[in-house]
Amino acid sequence: MTDHEALIREAIAAEADQAVDHRAVLAELRRKRSRRRPIALFAAATLTVAAAAVAVIVPLAVDRTASAPPAKQVAPASNARTVLLIGTDGGGNTDSIVLVRIAADTPVSAVWLPRDALVDLPGVGVDRLNSAYARGREVGGGQAGAEALARAVESLTGVAVDHHAEIDVAGVAALSDVVGGVDVCLRKPARDHLSGVDLPAGRILLGGQQALAFLRQRNGLPNGDLDRVMRQQVFLRALAAKVVGAQDPALVARVVEAARSTVRTDPGLELLEFAQRITPTMRTAIIPLGAEVDVENGTGPVRGHAVDPAAVRAFAAGFFADGAADTPTGGFTEPPAATQTQSPGEQESERGCVS
């Protein structure tokens, strides 16, 4: 050990000595923890079912597997509902924000709103979209967070949000095991310490922890969060394809049961009631996005994707128009093609591979 190194060692130790008192932090941790663990997480699951998986899969599966769907004339086309799906990491961080429109005789339409889209939040200024959730949650828990995010999404898209549902991404990943694995295709091998992902390139059967890692990885991807969005879309479509392809009502029941425990929704959301009448196709898109920029918002610089509210509103109006079933245009499509319409069961071609 040279004197130079000894001095460095002392300097670093002196820096470490500046640390805040751990007892205060311990108290803070305990306080946050008790607030962050609402019992509702489990209790509310009995209310209804609405995971992205379910919103997508159940309609598809029921349509294909039930030879004679029960005649249930409760849902005319105008009775469309818009559900905000909030994918969380189980610890209160919002990983994905998806606005889903479900209507009878119309494809399920789902548009992803990147969590780092920069929006103007009332009383806050410009910040990332998912910060609305975090702020609401700070004040009044998960339900308040979801409602605050719903308001922010409404004001950004101009689309009224009827219901919201919070989904633990880990639970969605677990669905892959229920169906015996989900097929995806990777352009390059994926390895990342943070998410624990370790997958080869090419077509793979995803299950268990690797499914979760696949859905969560953001670091090390060329387009970060946007690549993660693509992965979620690909995963959900592949999951739906698997369920539909199985032609097995018992499998559907198991998927629904598994999804039930991973979702909590606002009171009053019941999707199953008109699930039978939904067309078995799914349209996915990402809202129009600008470049990644840094903005100043009073509390410090924030980095995110610039968003033109007028463009987003115009896109959402077209995408969610009654009876819209065409391939969406105008959303974010850079690279690779982020928007496509696909029938469940259809084979993913090589171009369906993701980063």
- Given the rule CB under 8 A, which residues bind other proteins? 4-5, 7-20, 22, 25-26, 28-29, 32-33, 36, 89-93, 128, 193-194, 219, 294, 299-303
**DSSP character string of 196-259:** TEEE-SEEEEE-HHHHHHHHH--TTSTTTHHHHHHHHHHHHHHHHHHHHHHT-HHHHHHHHHHH
Q: Any bridge partners for residue 192, and if so which? A: 197
Nearer to other proteins, 220 or 336 (CB): 220
Q: How far apart are CA 130 and CA 312, in angstroms?
A: 17
Closest CA to 128 of 120, 136, 138: 120
Biggest distance spanned by C-alpha atoms of the chain: 85
Q: How far is the CB of 169 from other proteins (least distance, A)?
A: 11
Closest CA to 83 of 48, 120, 117, 127: 48
Nearer to other proteins, 294 or 350 (CB): 294
The gap between the terminal CA atoms of the chain, to the nearest Å, is: 46
Nearer to other proteins, 94 or 342 (CB): 94
Nearer to other proteins, 268 or 298 (CB): 298
Q: How far is the CB of 30 from other proteins (least distance, A)?
A: 9
Q: How far is the CB of 337 from other proteins (least distance, A)?
A: 28
Residues 150 and 133: beta-carbon distance below 8 Å: no
Q: How far apart are CA 93 and CA 353, in angstroms?
A: 27
Q: How far is the CB of 40 from other proteins (least distance, A)?
A: 16
**Cα separations in angstroms, 41 against 30, 32, 98, 165:** 19, 16, 20, 11
Q: How far is the CB of 287 from other proteins (least distance, A)?
A: 21
Nearer to other proteins, 13 or 291 (CB): 13
Whether cis (ω within 30° of 0) applies to the bond prior to 336 is yes
Q: How far is the CB of 137 from other proteins (least distance, A)?
A: 12
Nearer to other proteins, 193 or 351 (CB): 193
Q: How far apart are CA 6 and CA 2, in angstroms?
A: 6
Nearer to other proteins, 188 or 313 (CB): 188
Q: How far apart are CA 185 and CA 168, in angstroms?
A: 23
Nearer to other proteins, 17 or 350 (CB): 17
Residues 147 and 320: beta-carbon distance below 8 Å: no
Q: How far is the CB of 155 from other proteins (least distance, A)?
A: 22
Q: How far is the CB of 167 from other proteins (least distance, A)?
A: 15
SS3 266: coil
Nearer to other proteins, 150 or 302 (CB): 302
Q: For strand 107-112 and strand 279-286, is the pairing parallel, antiparallel, or unpaired? A: parallel
Nearer to other proteins, 133 or 319 (CB): 133
Q: How far is the CB of 336 from other proteins (least distance, A)?
A: 24
Length of the chain: 355
Q: How far is the CB of 14 from other proteins (least distance, A)?
A: 6
Amino acid letter for position 21? D
